[in-house]
Amino acid sequence: MGRGGEFAEVFVEDRSTSSAMLDQRRVEELSSGRDRGAGIRVVVGDTTGFAHTADLSERGLLAAAQAAATVARKGGGGVREIALGPLTNHPSVATMLPKDVDKARKIELMNLADDAARSEGSSITQVSVALGDSSRRFVVANSEGVFAADHQVRTRFNVTCIAKGDGGMQTGYRPIAGTRGFELLSGEAVAEAARGAARQAITKLDARPAPSGDLPVVLAGGSGGILFHEACGHGLEADAILKQASVYAGKVGQLVASPLVTLVDDGTVEGEWGYLALDDEGRPGARNVLIENGVLTDYMWDYLRSRKEGRLSSGNGRRQSYQHLPMVRMTNTYLLAGESDADEIVAQTPYGVYVAQLGGGQVNTATGDFVFGMTAAFMIEDGKITAPLRDCNLIGNGPDVLQRVDAVATDFSMTPGTCGKNGQSVPVGCGQATMRLTGVTIGGAAV
């Protein structure tokens, strides 16, 4: 601040990780790592200086601070003393830290998943199990007096199965993930995930080509959350809004979705993959209503963007690590449950596609156009879920899809994901209840 900076921030992080991989009953990987360092940011007007270092000595930190401050005005800035309050510390919500769990116990759980998956039938020819955990402690202090710390513990367990039949091979996948410790991974939960992955792969052996064209689509609870994360969530992040690079820019107060749609970004959902007590700028996690009954009410904000607009951050400033600048990012983004019955929504759909699981996708925030893979989908015929479909694409436009929601059920659930943006990846949660879209383009291969 002595060189004329208007805002300065120090972010110090200590992260430890471990991972294990079981493939075809063999432990292929068992690794751990630790990374610690500091990122220092100085802001002058619209210019940001940033430097990071793994040297946490006084000398190393001062060198990084001087490098970051080179963007500040030369001289005349004087010295600004900042009175930091007492440290606000947020302990982890985990009750069983993964680092305290013996590696033999972790391998035992992975073998349990392998056995459970193979018990579903001889057509399961390959099972891969991955287990990963991280413990991330950070402290952030800035020139506005913020001085806060958090401890985030995350645990993830993935099962991938391959089934082989006369028509070739098919894949099934199930994750378990949460901002929790090893208590998340009970033997029952692990076995059920493995059996689910195996059943998905086996079911897809009888899959037929998907139809093509504009069809009604029913998204199973939890499965479609990623669609709304990508199709409209990114367009509601303030950096895209202020650049006029979003279809939602300037539309606060306008009807942008069906009245059945209330979209929330909520970092306070304890235990979910995108949970955070603090964001990476030291702001408390918050529940932010973005669209309420179809009306756009607000955007997501980090410190820099909110500072420009003379408002408070919404707790959405996130960074991948101390080596990265924070930016506006989602946490747990979901649509609120409705009042319909999930089975009735299907029964009242004469013909369409039932999406049990979506895969990866991409969106153009400027236009809202998106493409998503469907990794588990079925035909709906005469109000019943019938034949499984081969992997295909779901193609549409975010604002258009929001208008096409005509039924929302009560069976809300969440699913974990990893969100990439500008070269940075962070954990996020996505969710919704079973819902129907009156029409979305299916990119199938059926004639």
What would the pLDDT profile of 415-445 be if each residue is shown by its tens digit? 999 999 999 999 999 999 999 999 999 987 6
Q: Residue 174's beta-bridge partner residues?
A: 159
- Please give the full DSSP string across 291-315, using - where no structure is assigned: EETTEE---B--HHHHHHHTS---S
Contacts of 91 (CB under 8 A, 6+ apart): 151
Look at the block and give the residue holding tokens 């270092």: 53
Residue 7 and residue 23: Cα distance in Å, rounded?
Answer: 49
Residue 17 has pLDDT above 50, yes or no: yes
Which of 83-97, 183-197, 254-268, 351-365 comes out lowest in average pLDDT? 83-97
pLDDT tens digit sequence for 64-79: 898 888 866 543 444 4
Q: How many residues does the chain have?
A: 447
Strands 212-219 and 351-363: parallel
For the chain, helix (H) and strand (E) counts, in that order, are 8, 22
Torsional sign, CA 43, 48, 49, 52: positive
The two structure tokens encoding residue 26: 């063999």
Q: How many CB atoms lie within 10 A of CB 447?
A: 6
Residue 206 pLDDT level (bands cut at 50, 70, 90): very high
Taking residues 340-355, report their average pLDDT.
98
Q: What is the mean pLDDT of residues 294-318?
A: 96
Average pLDDT for 130-140: 98
Tell me the average pLDDT across 387-394.
Answer: 92
How far apart are the C-alpha atoms of 330 and 426, rounded to whole Å? 9
Which two three-digit tokens encode residue 94? 């985990």
Is residue 131 pLDDT above 60, yes or no? Answer: yes
pLDDT on residue 163: 98
The pTM score is 0.93
Q: Which of 42-51, 189-198, 346-355 has the lowest mean pLDDT?
A: 42-51
pLDDT above 90: percentage of residues in the chain? 82
Token pair for 354: 């039932």
Question: What's the chain's Rg over C-alpha atoms?
Answer: 24
**What is the average pLDDT across 162-189?**
95
How much is the pLDDT for 362? Answer: 82
Q: pLDDT band at residue 447, thresholds of 50, 70 and 90? A: low
- pLDDT for res 381: 97
Domain locations in the chain as residue ranges: 7-206, 212-443
Residue 409 has which token pair?
């059920």
> How many C-beta atoms lie closer than 10 Å to residue 351's C-beta?
12
Tell me the one-letter amino acid at 7.
F
Average pLDDT, integer, range 290-299: 98
Q: Angle CA(185)–CA(357)–CA(231) in degrees, nearest 5?
A: 110
Q: In the predicted model, is pLDDT for residue 46 greater than 90?
A: no
Q: What is the pLDDT of residue 72?
A: 60
Query: Which tens digits make up the pLDDT trace of 33-43?
Result: 999 999 999 98
The 10 Å Cβ neighbour count of residue 244 is: 9
Tokens of 5: 């900076």
The predicted structure's pLDDT at residue 74: 47
Is the model's pLDDT at 343 over the cut of 90?
Answer: yes
Do the beta carbons of residue 268 and residue 287 sit within 8 Å?
Answer: yes
Residue 446 has a pLDDT of 65
What's the rounded mean pLDDT across residues 292-302?
Answer: 98
CATH class as words, domain 7-206: alpha beta
Q: Which two tokens stand for residue 84?
A: 């930091």
List CB contacts of 133: < 8 A, sequence separation 6 or more: 17, 18, 19, 98, 99, 153, 154, 155, 156, 181, 182
Contact 304, 281 (CB under 8 A): no
Residue of 168, 148, 169, 147 lying closest to 160 (CA atoms): 169
